[in-house]
A and B are shown apart, each in its own frame.
Chain A
Amino acid sequence: MILEGISTGTAIGLFAASGAILTGLHFLRSRYHRQPVITTMFWREALKNPQRRLLTGKWSSWLSWLLTLIAALLLLLALTEPAITAAGIEKTVIVVDAVQPGDVYSAAVEWIKKTAATDPGSFAVIAVAPSPVLIKKFTERLYPQRLTGISQADTTAQLDKAIYLAHTLLLDSGTAGRIAVLTQRGLTAASANGTPVIVINPAASRPAANIVNAFHTTTALELLIEQHGQTGQELVLVMKYPKNGAVQRFSLRAERDGFNSFRLPANARGEDAELQLELPGGKTAPARVFLMPGASVSPLTVKIAVPAPSSLQILLASLPGIRLTANEAEADLVIGTAADKNKATLLLVDEQPASVSVPSWRHEDKIIAGKVAPKTGFILNKSLGTDASVCANPEFAAAVAQLIFDLAGKPLPGNIDNAEPGRIAAIAPLLDVLPAFNPAVFEKHVSPLTGLSGWIFAFALFAFAADAYLYLKNRNP
């Protein structure tokens, strides 16, 4: 037997909890102590007076009816678990490849349950085993039991059909969205009819402490690594480019327990790079194929005149909100050198080594002979230009992006949240990272009505119902 509305365990728990509450109310309710009297004729007349106890007398039936309605409403809210989704959250169709080893598939299912639980209305789920099966519409709850038991092996998942189906779902919903594919196999299609496709590689199982748990990329050159255990240890990201045989190594340092975000280098864009993490102790995380999805934001076109290769150029190239161009005519922003100071239309960015490690920026307007002098921005970072790995520093990337857009007089694309300056939360909207994939960001966009959907309101409901029941039961005829 499958309970469609709530799971069996939930039903049992609800019954047990409500039974406990009703039992408690039964023993704690206002009891009427039995009192023999010589006659009740005077009491009956006393209780007939309509002016006595207006609330429980004249309005008793209305009060009882109102309580019943409230109880029914609370029951509905408690069982449907509504959530308010902030505007701007794009819908996502999760395509899970069920033709995978069982433990990998289980990890994918766990990831779906965790992700879809945050905002069920933003997610649809399609399983591919090997044909696409619609598991959850946008308007449905996620029933995890539909995902279990369909895993297969030794066949080929029809991911293309699933992605097509996912695209259809997004079109039907009438809103823009994304497709997230959970698979360990490589995908050649970067997008489905313009819909960005995110490839997420589920880990086989939750590893022990200090081992990389999740390792995947998102839409815009961001690398999310979930690692539990000791922080501050060094990870080495190896990027191999099969087309030209090039290999790049980047040193990463997880700063907190759980998810850490890293910027990928700019020259990974558009290529099928193979990513591999070298873990402490010589261990190596499984290789992942990185696919660059299509840009989803209108880029800021920038011409940079500084000699290449420049660390600033690499950094700007890695920012998805910025497109570099060599044509000054189509540039929204031209970054020149010190020699261009006299050009009134140019912006100037000076890279100035600073004595502090915290990146910062500023710009100033100079008035020269009645004209606005070139805007000059200063990027202060003592490590700037010394190593390409600086591009993977999200704090610095965020600072540069902020400076560039500020100089151009344009707002940052997306809803910049600087509640945690320099952290992933600040840069994520700029990079157009799907908030749901980053719990820290997601929490700022979605406000589940936990107060209405929690157990406490279910309890309140039964308390109301029990109260109404007791009231009616003990009401005098």
Chain B
Amino acid sequence: MNNFPPEFIHYLLNLNLRGDSRGGMTNHGHHRSPHAGTSVEFHDFRTYVPGDDLRRIDANIYQRHKKLFIRRYHHFQEATYRIIIDNSASLHFEQERFHAALQIAAAVAVVLLNHGNRVNLFITGEDTPWQLKNGKQDIPRLLQRLDNITTDSGSDSRIPLKHLRAGLGTHSVTWVISDFFESGDGGSFLEQIRLIPGTLIPVRIGKAADRTPQLTGNLQLVDCETGNHLNTVVDTTVIREYQRSYDRFINQIDVFARQSGAHHYMIDSSLPDIARTVPVFPDGALTLN
């Protein structure tokens, strides 16, 4: 299955980045820090006080007004953008789910690269991330590597926390693309990503029908991830309880996202390629703030 048809790639390349991104390629991050720092962009003046760096004294002002003022500059901090793709069996339960996950990951990464940012891509179950440092030049490589992840290869939901927690700057933004269901070892995916520092943006892959399963009768429910089975008689009462449980789960993700200062995006994998990206790219732009 071709995850990235030409019209989709064309769509990706025309997505914008909304926020304070300056675009272009630099060695610094493009998030302006509220603290005035040592970068080259002028910010304002302030009165000299003893102990200030004499090299920052503005000579022109001194010559004109015989007063000492210090030039201050914006401090630009390098931001770290990371994308985590859940490669567990549940996302491979239906091909379109993982297909949607790859497309969302590609869309976020392409927008960031297209605007001169570095992106680290993490696939659960893999120990080392893909580091994309070369902006637009890395987009073909990104798409090719994402396309090489076969839909039947996933079975691991382990997150390489070691890499995610090490070597971070003071600011990081991480998109977590997953269904957020329990992992095979019985643990909660949410509990795992809670350990990742920085801003976490949950992008949940699912379908509208997940909340309203069209099941009834005597069923042996087999968990596609664990293989465990559950015998039950599914009737309206059970479905009602199921939906309550499902709603609680959604609420947990919402709370988690708010605590992280981000939004919770729901991607309906049953929608067409471009339509399914709309929640993350409203008006054709990715919002960083």
Contacts and interface: CB of A to CB of B under 8 A. Distances in A.
Given A35-B215, A49-B241, A52-B237, A40 B228 contact: yes
Interface in B248-264: 248-249
Contacts of A38: 90, 93-94, 179, 181, 210, 224-225
Contacts of B128: none
Contacts of A243: none
Contact of B241 (A30, A32, A52): A52
A270 to B, nearest CB: 79
A27 interface: no
Nearest to A46: B241
Interface in A38-75: 38-47, 49, 52-53
Contacts of B221: 35, 37, 40, 43
A476 B223 contact: no
Contact of B223 (A30, A39, A49): A39
Interface in A271-313: none
B245 A39 contact: no
B232 interface: yes
B230 A45 contact: no
A25 to B, nearest CB: 15
B223 to A, nearest CB: 4
B288 interface: no
Given A38-B210, A52-B241, A476 B231 contact: yes
A355 interface: no
Contact of A476 (B217, B225, B232, B241): B232
Nearest to B90: A38
Nearest to A477: B230
A40 B237 contact: no
B232 to A, nearest CB: 6
A35 B220 contact: yes
Interface in B200-227: 210, 213, 215, 217-226
Contacts of A39: 90, 179, 181-182, 223-225
Contact of B218 (A33, A45, A476): A33
B230 A30 contact: no
A43 B242 contact: yes
A34 B222 contact: yes
B42 interface: no
Contacts of B181: 38-39, 41
- A40, A474, A476: most-surrounded residue (chain B CB, <10 A): A40
A152 to B, nearest CB: 65
B238 interface: yes
Interface residues of B, dominant DSSP: mixed
Contacts of B217: 33
Contact of B238 (A32, A37, A40, A47): A47
B182 A476 contact: no
Contacts of A474: 231
B93 A43 contact: no
Interface in A421-477: 474-476
B283 to A, nearest CB: 31
A37 B242 contact: no
A53 B90 CA distance: 30
B179 A42 contact: no
Contacts of B130: none
A37 B249 contact: no
Nearest to B89: A38
A473 to B, nearest CB: 9
Nearest to A33: B219
A52 to B, nearest CB: 6
Contacts of A476: 230-232
Contacts, number: 87
A476 B93 CA distance: 24
Nearest to B210: A38
B220 A53 contact: no
A43 B230 CA distance: 8
B124 to A, nearest CB: 16
Contacts of B249: 41-42
A31 B241 contact: no
Nearest to A37: B221
A174 interface: no
Contacts of B246: 42
Contacts of A409: none
B219 A32 contact: yes
B89 to A, nearest CB: 9
Interface in B124-159: none
A52 B179 CA distance: 28
A30 B217 CA distance: 10
A38 B222 CA distance: 8
A370 interface: no
A46 B234 CA distance: 10
Nearest to A47: B232
B225 A46 contact: no
- B90, B215, B220: most-surrounded residue (chain A CB, <10 A): B220
Nearest to A45: B245
Given A42-B249, A52-B237, A52-B241, A37 B213 contact: yes
A52 B239 CA distance: 11
A42 B242 contact: yes
A127 to B, nearest CB: 59
Contacts of B232: 32, 43, 47, 476
A46 B81 CA distance: 38
Contact of A35 (B179, B222, B228, B238): B222
A36 interface: yes
Contacts of B230: 40, 43-44, 47, 476
Given A47-B230, A474-B231, A32 B245 contact: no
Contacts of A47: 230, 232, 238, 241
A30 B237 CA distance: 19
A414 B226 CA distance: 79
Contacts of A32: 218-220, 231-232
Nearest to B225: A39
A40 B229 CA distance: 8
A38 B213 CA distance: 11
Contacts of A40: 221-223, 226, 228-230
A49 B245 CA distance: 11
23 contacts: A32-B219, A34-B220, A36-B222, A38-B90, A38-B94, A38-B225, A39-B179, A40-B222, A40-B226, A40-B229, A40-B230, A41-B182, A42-B245, A42-B246, A42-B249, A43-B238, A43-B242, A45-B248, A46-B244, A46-B245, A47-B230, A52-B237, A474-B231
Ordered nearest first, which 4 A-B pairs have the shortest CB separation?
A: A46-B241, A32-B220, A45-B245, A39-B181
Given A38-B90, A38-B210, A43-B230, 6 more contacts: A35-B215, A37-B222, A39-B179, A40-B226, A47-B232, A49-B241
Interface of B: 90, 93-94, 179, 181-182, 210, 213, 215, 217-226, 228-232, 237-238, 241-242, 244-246, 248-249
Interface of A: 30-47, 49, 52-53, 474-476
